[in-house]
Amino acid sequence: MHNLSIHTFNQSCYPFIVKETMLPLPNTKYDRSTREKWFPPGHGDVYNALFESGLLENLINQGKEYIFISNVDNLGATVNLDMLYHMINEDSEFVMEVTEKTRADVQGGTLVSYKNKPHLLEASQVPPEHMDDFRAINKFETFNTNNLWVNLRAIQRLVAQDLIDIEPLVTFRTVKNHKVVQLETAAGEAIHLFKNFIGLKVPRSRFLPVKSSSDLFLVQSNLYQIKHGSLIMNPARTTPTIPIVKLGLEFQSAKEYLARFEHGIPNITELDHLTVAGDVKFGSNISLKVCTSMCLIEVLSYAGKLIQMLLRIGNGDSCCERRCSHRPAGRNRVRKQGGYGQPSNLGPLIPVAYAVEPIGD
């Protein structure tokens, strides 16, 4: 066990603003009875919170020079000394890690240039008519991982001079039957305030957020290996992209999730896209492979009998590029007059499970 010192500090608390009057929703100081009228102002508050708490000065007095900031759910965000050395060699005060955008990241903030300085553009700041451009992977190829390396004395200098001026992100909500305004800030937007700022493109393994059971499935699988305390891509994975995994409602609780993977997570080093819905449990020694060589098995219940329909997806095309649905796909669907549907004279068929298996040659 490393000899670690754990420090804590409180973030600020901002009042909701009533949209109609532009006045604070609470009329008293913050306490337990009024907590629903207040909100945390986003991670852009970290600079002021470090300063006001005294922790910033404490760290500087200990001889610390740099701080690494990341989202708590990002398992790929670990201290990398190569990045720190690069920051020192470039005499940079601020480094933001960015990585290649995929279809799963179209809402992620991206660095843009405005008046010859970088700014973090978030989806909430984009006008509706330009949202397609913002989401286009070929136009904005990278996005902010929110892994930030910052010089402590630079933070101290800017906060002491009241120069932390971050563009607020405006959202509208309804609280206590009032339409209110919520103002938040993003820590990455401060990049333009620092000297010798750098946007550093990093491998996708530096951004592994776990917000759902689908995310947990990925990091627990053999897609990653642990090296020096960091998750790295398994060399057996021949493509740099991360599989798109969508686990159904039956996988959302920890108890259900563990029960459905009682024999361990399947081998997914060759997987591109997986969608699972219904009452599905995975056995042992299972390998899941790319969509083009996958079969969606739809188990249907009728009159106490199980009907298995093996439905081939696509004819060599990736379902990631086309579609991946729970409806029968491909030429082997059951034909009815005027289209595709359930077999006649059987009544309604109720989907109860979906799974994926490789198709034999």
pLDDT one-digit tens code per residue, 317-330: 443 333 333 333 33
Given a contact cutoff of 8 angstroms between Cβ atoms, the answer to whether 254 and 302 are in contact is no
Average pLDDT, the chain: 81
Lowest mean pLDDT among 21-25, 68-72, 139-143: 139-143
DSSP string, 173-228: EEETTEEEEEEE--GGGGGGGSTT-EEEE--GGG--B--SHHHHHHHHSTTEEEET
User: Strand, helix or coil at 145?
Assistant: strand
Taking the CA of residue 93 as centre, how many other CA atoms within 13 Å lie in the half-sphere pointing to its CB? 14
DSSP string, 81-93: HHHHHHHHHTT-S
Single out the catalytic residue among 64, 179, 211, 281.
Answer: 211
Which two three-digit tokens encode residue 298?
């739809």
64 is catalytic: no
Going from N- to C-terminal start, the domains of the chain cover: 14-206, 213-358
Given a contact cutoff of 8 angstroms between Cβ atoms, the answer to whether 205 and 108 are in contact is no
pLDDT above 60: residue 342: no
- Using 50, 70 and 90 to split pLDDT, how confident is the model at 312? very low
- Using 50, 70 and 90 to split pLDDT, how confident is the model at 40? very high
pLDDT above 90 covers a percentage of the chain that reads 53
From residue 13, alpha-carbon distances to 48, 73, 236, 314 in Å are 12, 22, 47, 52
DSSP-derived secondary structure letter, 108: S
DSSP-derived secondary structure letter, 74: B
Contacts of 343 (CB under 8 A, 6+ apart): 334, 336, 349
What is d(CA 240, CA 206) in angstroms, rounded to the nearest whole number? 13
- What's residue 21's pLDDT? 94
Mean pLDDT calculated for residue range 290-298: 44
> In this predicted model, what pLDDT tens digit does every residue of 101-150 receive, in sequence order?
887 788 888 898 888 888 999 988 998 998 998 888 888 889 999 999 99
Greatest mean pLDDT range, 155-164, 296-305, 312-321: 155-164
- Using 50, 70 and 90 to split pLDDT, how confident is the model at 291? low
- What's residue 281's pLDDT? 86
pLDDT above 50: residue 308: no
- What's residue 103's pLDDT? 78
42 bridge partner residues: none
Higher pLDDT, 208 or 309: 208
What is d(CA 254, CA 331) in angstroms, rounded to the nearest whole number? 38
Higher pLDDT, 30 or 295: 30
17-24: Cβ within 8 A, 24+ apart: 17/180, 17/181, 17/182, 17/183, 18/178, 18/179, 18/180, 18/181, 19/172, 19/178, 19/179, 19/180, 19/181, 20/179, 22/181
φ, ψ at 57 (rounded to 5°): -65, -40
> In this predicted model, what pLDDT tens digit does every residue of 162-171 receive, in sequence order?
999 999 999 9
- What's residue 242's pLDDT? 84
149 bridge partner residues: 68, 95
What is d(CA 135, CA 341) in angstroms, rounded to the nearest whole number? 35
- What's residue 207's pLDDT? 92
What is d(CA 281, CA 269) in angstroms, rounded to the nearest whole number? 20
Lowest mean pLDDT among 111-120, 210-219, 291-300: 291-300
- Does the domain formed by 14-206 have CATH 3.90.550.10? yes
> In this predicted model, what pLDDT tens digit does every residue of 242-277 receive, in sequence order?
888 989 888 999 999 999 999 999 999 999 888 888
- Superfamily of chain region 213-358: Hexapeptide repeat proteins (2.160.10.10)
Residue-wise over 171-203: b if at least 16 C-beta within 10 A, else e?
A: eeeeeeeeebebebbbbbbbbbbbeebbbbebe
